[in-house]
Amino acid sequence: MKALYLLSFLSVATVASAGSLTVESPDMAKGVLAPAQFANVFGCSGGNLSPEIRWSGAPEGTLSYVVTLYDPDAPTGSGFWHWVAVDIPADVSSLSSGAGDDGAKLPKGSYMVRNDAGEAHFLGACPPEGQKHRYVLTVKALKVAKLPVPENATPALVGFVSNMVKLDEASIVATGAR
């Protein structure tokens, strides 16, 4: 079964990006995470609320989106995936604050894969005390309506497969510290 997932995306050629996609978040507009975007675990006391996101300029042929929030500075050796939402329909251009709380708040047909804490929802930031981390929010426009990964895929697999079918992507970065 796993081989079928891998074969299904290997047959799709990659396309160069025109670079027209843009993303913005009022919750990350100042380049710093809002207190609501911090976790309420591991000694942090934030709202654990996924940020509001808006995007525009999707290239022609966009059939779905993937949205991720990633901390490349986490002291793991591989960073930390805080949120991964897949199969967001092409006619959607925003997610409201808190959409990552549970799958019912996402657009119909969308779902979240497990973050690096093993939970299929948004997990806010909680960098070690005294450290400042970057949080990269990315929206990828895809040329497939459904990403060919199992619902129990890891964030790394979603990243790998989505890069194979990506038309364009846009990211914003905000920092967080405690």
Length of the chain: 178
Strand ranges in 36-131 using DSSP code E only, listed in sequence order? 53-56, 64-71, 80-89, 94-95, 111-112
- The tokens describing 1, both together, are 């079964």
Burial (Cβ within 10 Å: 0-12, 13-18, ≥19) of residue 115: buried
pLDDT at 84: 98
pLDDT at 10: 37
- Determine contact, residues 7/152, Cβ cutoff 8 Å: no
- Determine contact, residues 92/63, Cβ cutoff 8 Å: no
Residue type, 46: G
User: How far apart (Å, rounded) are the C-alpha atoms in residues 28 and 70?
Assistant: 14
- The tokens describing 154, both together, are 């890891």
Residue 142: CATH number of its domain: 3.90.280.10
- Determine contact, residues 147/158, Cβ cutoff 8 Å: yes
pLDDT at 92: 98
Total domains in the fold of the chain: 1
pLDDT at 14: 30
pLDDT at 73: 94
pLDDT at 42: 80
**Residue 73's domain spans which residues?**
2-177
* pTM for the full predicted model: 0.87
pLDDT at 34: 85
pLDDT at 46: 86
How many angstroms separate the Cα of 176 from the Cα of each of 117, 120, 135?
A: 18, 22, 7
Taking only the tens of pLDDT, the chain with its 178 residues reads: 444 344 333 333 333 344 799 999 999 988 988 888 888 888 888 899 999 999 999 999 999 999 999 999 999 989 999 999 999 999 999 999 999 998 889 999 999 999 999 999 999 999 988 889 999 999 999 999 999 999 899 999 999 999 999 999 999 999 998 8
Residue type, 97: S
Exposure letters 39-70 (e unless 16+ CB within 10 A, then b): beeeebebebbbbbbebeebbeebbbbbbbbb
pLDDT at 33: 87
User: How far apart (Å, rounded) are the C-alpha atoms in residues 18 and 64?
Assistant: 17
Residue 45: phi, psi to the nearest 5?
Answer: -130, 45
